[in-house]
Structure 1
Amino acid sequence: MAEKNLFSWTALISGLVQSGQWIDGFNLFIEMRRAGVHIVDPFILSSIVGASANLAALELGKQIHCLVLSLGYESSLFVSNALVDMYAKCSNILAAKTIFDTMCRRDIVSWTSIIVGMAQHGRANESLSLYDEMISAGLKPNKVTFVGLIYACSHVGLVSKGHLDEAENLLKTMPFKPHEAAWAALLSACKRHGNTEMGV
C-alpha cells in the first residue's frame, strides 16, 4: 500500500490476533507505533490487549494498559472488556475485578469475563454471586457464561451434591442446547466428587 492509516494497520493486526498469530500482531503494532500513526480509535487497543491475554504476557499487557490510560480510552467498553479478560488470564484477578468494578457500562462479555476469571482462580462463590448480579441487571447469560458457572460449581469449596444438582439444573435451563464444553465441565465435576449416578 502506498499509504497506510490506522484502519489499515488495525485490519491487519486484528486479523493476525484473531488467527492466533499474537507475536506477529505485537510486532506489527510496534512497527505502527514507530511509524507515528495516531490512535484515534480504540479498537486496535482491544485487539492488542487480547493478544497479551492469549500470550499470558502480563508485563506486555500492563504496558498496553498504560498506553490505554495515556490515550484516554479506559472508558471504551471493548478495551475495558479486553483488560478484564487479560488480567484474569494473566492470573491478576484483583486487577481484573478492579477494572470491572470501575466500568461505567457492562455487557455480557464484561460479566462473562469476570465470572469465568473468578471461577478459574478458585473463587467459585464470588463467581456465582456475580452471576446473580448479572441476572439482576437484566442480562442473559451465553454459552461461555454457563461453562464458567459449571466450572465454578465443580471447583474448590463447592463439593456437595446440591451444588452438582445446581450445575445440572443450569444445563437444563440454558436457553440453548448445551455444547461439548458445558457437558465436559459437568462430567468433570461428577468425576471429581464421585457422583457417578449424575454423570450417567
Structure 2
Amino acid sequence: MSIQKLLQAFNKTHFTNPTSIAHQAIASKIAKTLIKSGLKPFETTPLLLSNFNSDIANLVLSNSNLPPQSCLSFFKFLRRNPSPVAHKPDLQAHVILICRLYKAQKFAEMKNVLSYIATDVSLRCPVINLVSLIENETAEAKFVEKLCDMLFRVYADNRLFDEAMSVFDYMENSGMKIDERSCMVYLIALKRSDQMNMCFGFFQRMVKANVNITVYTMTIAIDGLCKTGDFKRARDLMVEMIGKGIKANVFTYNTLINGYIKRKDFVGVNEMLSLMESDQVAYNAATYTLLIEWYGRSGRIGEVERVFDEMRERGMEADVHRGLTQNVVTYTVMISGLSKEGRSDEAFRLYDEMIEAGLTPDNRVYTSLVGSLHTART
C-alpha cells in the first residue's frame, strides 16, 4: 500500500460514528481555511480551534487537499501554540506528517520532525513501535529503510547513543541496507563525546554487519584507538583493512604519527614514514607540521630546517596553532625561513607569539628578524 493510500485509509476509519463525522467536518473546514488564508486566522482568532483535539489534528494533516508545506506550517503552529484541549501534536500526528514530507521529498524537514520525536521523552518510543505505525498500513520497504536511517542519524546528532544502536540493531536484524555515511555520523558523535572505546566497538559492528567500509571510517576508529593509547591495535587495524583493499591515506598516517609523537615513540614515527614512502602517500601540510614538531622536540635543528624548506618549496604553510608544540626550535626555524623570504610582518608575528608563550628567543631569532627587514627593503 502506498503512502497516499495509508493517509486515505486513516481518513476512512473516522467515518464509523457521529463523533468522527463531526471531527471530519471540523478538520475539513480548518484545511479549507489554511488553503485560503494560511495560519493568520488561527493566530488572530484562537477560538477557531475551540473544539480542536488530537483526532482533528491528525485528520487535518492527512487531508490530501492540503499541500505538504501547509501541513508543516500548521504542525509547527500547533507545537508553538497548543490549544487547551489538543496540547501538542501526538505521535500519530508526527508519523502522518513524516509520510507527507517523504512523499514530497522534503527530507530535511522530515529529519526535523524525527528530531522532535527523538528529543521529546513523551513521544520517544522503541524503533519497532514507530515503524509498526507505518508498516501496519504500508509495504513500502524503501520508505521504512529511509525512516530508520534518518532516525539513526538523528539519535547520533543528539548523542543518544543507546537509542541509535537500537535502530542500528533493528536495521541489521531486518536485513536493511545500512549507509556508511550514517555510521560515520555516529562515529564522529562518539569521538566528540570522548567515547573512544565505543568508536572501535562500533567499527567492529560495522564490519560484522557488512557495512561498506571506507578509509574515512577506518581513520576515525584508528584515531579512537590512538587516543586510548592502544597503538598496537590501531596499527593492526590499519594492516587488516589494507588486506581487505582499504588503503590508508595521508590522514590515517597523520593520525598514527601524531599519536606516536605524543608518546615519544620515534620507532613508531619512523615506521609510519616508511610505510607512507612504500605506499607512495604524499605528505600534506599537517604531516610537515608534525615532522617539524617531532624534530624540534629532538633538538634536530638541521632536520627541522630541511622539512621546513621542503614544505615551503611545495607551497605549504605550517600551522603553529594546530598540532604543533610551541618550542624554541620550531619558532626559530620558522622565523628564520620567513625572514629569508623578506616576510618580516609574519616573522615578527611569530616572534610576538613566541614571547607570549613564555619562550626565550636566542641570538639566531634576533639576527633573522634584522635580516628580514633588510631583505624586505631590497
TM-score, scaled relative to structure 1:
0.71
Q: Of residues 159, 166, 173 in structure 2, which corresponds to 1:24? A: 159
CA distance in 1, matches of 2:275, 2:190: 28
Per the alignment, residue 250 of structure 2 pairs with: 108
CA distance in 1, matches of 2:155, 2:286: 25
Q: 1:11 to 1:29 in 2, by over 3 A?
A: closer
- The CA deviation at 1:178 is 2.4
Q: 1:29 to 1:140 in 2, by over 3 A?
A: same
Q: Does 1:41 align with 2:179?
A: yes
Q: Of residues 159, 164, 178 in structure 1, which corresponds to 2:318? A: 178
- The CA deviation at 1:90 is 2.4
| Partner amino acid, structure 1, of 2:168 | R
What secondary structure sits across from 2:294 in the alignment? helix
- The CA deviation at 1:50 is 2.9
What secondary structure sits across from 1:5 in the alignment? helix
| Partner amino acid, structure 2, of 1:93 | F
- The CA deviation at 1:182 is 6.4
Query: Is this contact kept in 2: 1:84–1:110, CA < 8 A?
Result: yes
- The CA deviation at 1:179 is 2.6
Which consecutive unaligned segments of at least 5 residues does structure 1 have? 17-22
1:42-191 equivalences in 2 (<5 Å): 42-73=180-211, 75-104=213-242, 105-155=247-297, 158=298, 160=299, 163-174=300-311, 175=314, 176-181=316-321, 184-185=324-325, 187=327, 189=329
Q: How many residues align?
A: 187
If asked which structure has higher relative contact order (CA below 8 Å, sep 6+), I would say 1
Task: Say which one has the larger Rg.
Answer: 2
What secondary structure sits across from 2:259 in the alignment? helix
| Partner amino acid, structure 2, of 1:187 | N
- The CA deviation at 1:95 is 1.4
Q: 1:41 to 1:116 in 2, by over 3 A?
A: same
CA distance in 2, matches of 1:184, 1:77: 25
CA distance in 2, matches of 1:117, 1:101: 17
Query: Is this contact kept in 2: 1:112–1:144, CA < 8 A?
Result: yes
| Partner amino acid, structure 2, of 1:95 | R
Which consecutive unaligned segments of at least 5 residues does structure 2 have? 1-97, 103-145, 332-359, 367-378
Q: Which runs of 4+ in 1 moved over 6 A?
A: none
| Partner amino acid, structure 1, of 2:327 | L
Output one character per residue of 1:144-198: Cα deviation in whole Å (capped at 9) or x when no partner. Answer: 222222333244xx3x4xx23212321221121223336953635558xx88456
Query: Is this contact kept in 2: 1:52–1:60, CA < 8 A?
Result: yes
Q: 1:189 to 1:54 in 2, by over 3 A?
A: farther
| Partner amino acid, structure 2, of 1:178 | A
Q: CA RMSD in A?
A: 3.5
Per the alignment, residue 19 of structure 1 pairs with: none
